Amino acid sequence: MSGSMKLTLKVWRQKDARSKGQFVNYEAKNISPDMSFLEMFDVVNEDLIKKGEEPIAFDHDCREGICGACSMYVNGRPHGPKSGITTCQLHMRSFKDGDTIVVEPWRAKPFPVLKDLVVDRSAFDRIIQAGGYVSVNTGGVPDANAIPIPKKDADAAFDAATCIGCGACVAACKNASAMLFVSAKVAQLAFLPQGQVERKERVEKMVDQMNEEGFGSCTNTGACSVECPKLISQDNIALLNREYIKAKLTSDNV
């Protein structure tokens, strides 16, 4: 049951990190409105393979909007025209027959292109490694109900914790700032009693690492939050700023 939509794709092709890339046009035929955007790419890639041309490389895995792997810049917006979803949850019914769609990788210096639409987001991992955790070893922890947490705080922590680390916030930002990503983790742990012990040190270390990776500054345009597939609030950035200033004013790491 394939469909009858026909589309033109302008896709960024780049052999590897060292090569220069360019846009290449492809026809996507027999597309059904029930296909996801990535399934449409599957169809195009199968055709390319049959023709002996290398398929378009793109990151994807769970295809249910939670792993954060997919990372396409569709018609000038991270994850495409709809808000609150990842590319894999974007369906072709959001497009019209005959449309031309421009597809690019995340464009940000700290996310170098590895091939076609695939970028290296390991900078995010290094920011978490710098301090995005509670330093507890396995075992020897108190009973889970020993510390009651107000539902409001638990919910706020959860909202921040829904970040999937896809990098859309960085891709959306004209400064390639990673503030939304960093603030989500800082906020999650700042709301919880478990995060209090390392609260100051955490924010200092994570922000330092963020700067070291070459992410830009935040100028409060709010694009990050609008494009975030999990709609993580920009309020977290304000919280991050407060946390950072508080930590720096009383820092032990001078």
* 27-46 positions binding another protein, by CB under 8 A: 32, 34-36, 38-39, 42-43, 46
Residues 94-113 that bind another protein (CB under 8 A): none
Q: Which of 93, 109, 242, 246 binds another protein (CB under 8 A)?
A: 93
> Smallest gap, in angstroms, from Cβ of residue 174 to another protein?
25
Residues 45-84 that bind another protein (CB under 8 A): 46, 49-50, 52-55, 57, 59-69, 84
Structure tokens at 47: 């055709």
HSE (CB half, 13 Å, CA atoms) of 47?
Answer: 12
Whole-angstrom Cα distance, residue 184 to residue 1? 42
> What are the residues whose beta carbons fall under 8 Å from the beta carbon of 31, sequence distance 6 or more?
2, 3, 4, 5, 6, 7, 40, 43, 92
**Which residue stretch of 20-28, 102-110, 139-147, 233-241 sits at the interface with another protein (rule: CB under 8 A)?**
139-147
- Residue with the two structure tokens 């009651």: 148
- Confirm or reject binding of residue 142 to another protein (CB under 8 A): yes
Structure tokens at 231: 């709609």
> Smallest gap, in angstroms, from Cβ of residue 62 to another protein?
5
Q: Choose between 3 and 21: whose C-beta lies nearer to another protein.
A: 3
Residues 193-252 that bind another protein (CB under 8 A): 194-195
Q: Which of 5, 44, 74, 85 binds another protein (CB under 8 A)?
A: 85
> Smallest gap, in angstroms, from Cβ of residue 212 to another protein?
14
Q: Which of 239, 129, 219, 128 lies closest to 172 in space, CA to CA?
A: 219
> What are the residues whose beta carbons fall under 8 Å from the beta carbon of 136, sequence distance 6 or more?
194
